[in-house]
Structure 1
């Protein structure tokens, strides 16, 4: 299932932002304690997300914001600002725990808590979910069933590449309907010599020269006749963020590389291609229901018995 017919190349691509702060990233998980989030490490995500909203306004672009529930709780006006700007609100889970490191019950609690919070704050149905660090794979395919049961319509939680933290290189590269009844939209890759090259954004976008990234996007669209989806984080446009100590050289390079160039590159990207939300770009209208899931009341009841996940 690709959602497109007659080999007509769609004109728009999907722009996505994973709304988390610099201290949430996997590269810092060995040195940052959860109780220090927003305390020892000051919160910067709200200001940076508003900067992104302003950039999108300048280019008249709509995007999908996969917002972390922890961030939504700490910044209760942020979800409303995203929706007020005409953007799509989606979930990045609540506590930024890898899906493949959670029990099924803990995962269920995490996704339900986040979804309910975002819908209560925004008054809008949340259709989409993205797992932290694309952490759904062979060992936890049950996550798709839990997402479907929680009322999500689509996910973008797999990256078909080989990577030391994530990756499902043997899985489909394009939008497809899973047997659990939920749509999965993988992060884009370019197939070169039977190997999937990561080109979806984030650190790779900061690593590659901009001209190469642009070439990759154009090649992907021409080669696959599919829209391209791009992701980045609010902390990636913030070169003045606090420096983290006690991390490996690899983690330091991954996180801080070319932060000072990122905002200018985003402006170029928004000018060079046409962008829209995941929901619009992948033509999910009519493929998913706009009504509240019948599981919503069950989710509310489960959530009422949960403690703080923050």
Structure 2
């Protein structure tokens, strides 16, 4: 089938489990994680099988906690030709960490991934895109730890994150690291979130496809898409005690994501962050 655009875009997966998401921070602490049966490995293998079907390579931002428990999963991600990058260790928002704690968290993840894989890990993504106005120092730490690029900012207004007046496209930071923001589309003077995740589950597929195509045509820039393995898992256990808003954000249209994702692979061209943005 003919693609809607010749541009090669970046497919990314934030490898974390359903009980580790920021939406449930108020009801599940990391100390509780051992009480839950992990589902992340099975869901990630299912995603890799889908990517194999369409010969798509992706970047997997792997949580260190997941890597420690599923080392073979991380190795297979690389063996299938995908890029392994870091999502930190314990899925704590960088805005809630001191510089010392942030460095320890990210270093622990990077070191473990590199020991598993036998090569350098070049990319990092902060949980909930939590590098912003209050913690730009995090970029210096990432450079110190040897990262070549980050994808940790989202130039929109959101209650959990957002740097709406920061650059919208990949750029080189003064700290000497490339930052690749999550994509937004300018409509009527405002920046609309179109990067994936909950927005992709919320929007009907025809709207996501239209917005992505409009972005590619208008900006002449590659697009990057993000989502999580739990988003293709409608049978995951329901977390008790979370707010209505958190439940809505997490569970909306889980039963539709896999089919929509498959169509996304058909409609557009995809590769890794490293290949699309030429970071090294």
Give the structure-2-normalised TM-score.
0.97
Question: Match of 2:138?
Answer: 143
CA distance in 2, matches of 1:93, 1:254: 22
Question: Match of 1:232?
Answer: 227
CA deviations 1:172-210 (Å, max 9, x no partner) are: 000000000000000000011221100000000000010
- Structure 1 residues 10 and 111, CA gap change in structure 2 (3 angstroms): farther
Q: Is contact 2:15-2:228 (8 Å) kept?
A: yes
Question: Match of 1:166?
Answer: 161
CA deviations 1:268-294 (Å, max 9, x no partner) are: 00000000000001122xxx3xxxxxx
Question: Match of 2:28?
Answer: 32
CA distance in 2, matches of 1:195, 1:181: 29
User: What pairs with 1:1-310 in structure 2 (closer than 5 Å)?
Assistant: 11-37=7-33, 39-284=34-279, 288=280
Question: Match of 1:297?
Answer: none
Q: Is contact 1:10-1:227 (8 Å) kept?
A: no
Q: Secondary structure at the match of 1:77?
A: helix
Q: Secondary structure at the match of 2:164?
A: coil
Q: Is contact 1:64-1:278 (8 Å) kept?
A: yes
CA distance in 1, matches of 2:267, 2:15: 23
Q: Is contact 2:6-2:269 (8 Å) kept?
A: no
Q: Is contact 1:133-1:166 (8 Å) kept?
A: yes
CA distance in 2, matches of 1:68, 1:236: 16
CA distance in 2, matches of 1:179, 1:166: 22
Gap regions ≥5 residues in structure 2: none
Gap regions ≥5 residues in structure 1: 1-8, 289-310
CA deviations 1:124-143 (Å, max 9, x no partner) are: 21000000000000100000
Alignment length, in residue pairs?
276
Q: Secondary structure at the match of 2:185?
A: strand
Q: Is contact 2:7-2:216 (8 Å) kept?
A: no
Q: Is contact 2:87-2:127 (8 Å) kept?
A: yes
Q: Secondary structure at the match of 1:15?
A: strand
Structure 1 segments of 4+ aligned residues over 2 angstroms from their partners: none
CA distance in 2, matches of 1:98, 1:28: 13
Residue 256 of structure 1: how far off its partner (Å)? 0.3
Residue 10 of structure 1: how far off its partner (Å)? 6.4
Question: Match of 1:4?
Answer: none
CA RMSD of aligned residues (A): 0.9
Residue 212 of structure 1: how far off its partner (Å)? 0.4
Residue 78 of structure 1: how far off its partner (Å)? 1.4
CA distance in 2, matches of 1:76, 1:85: 14
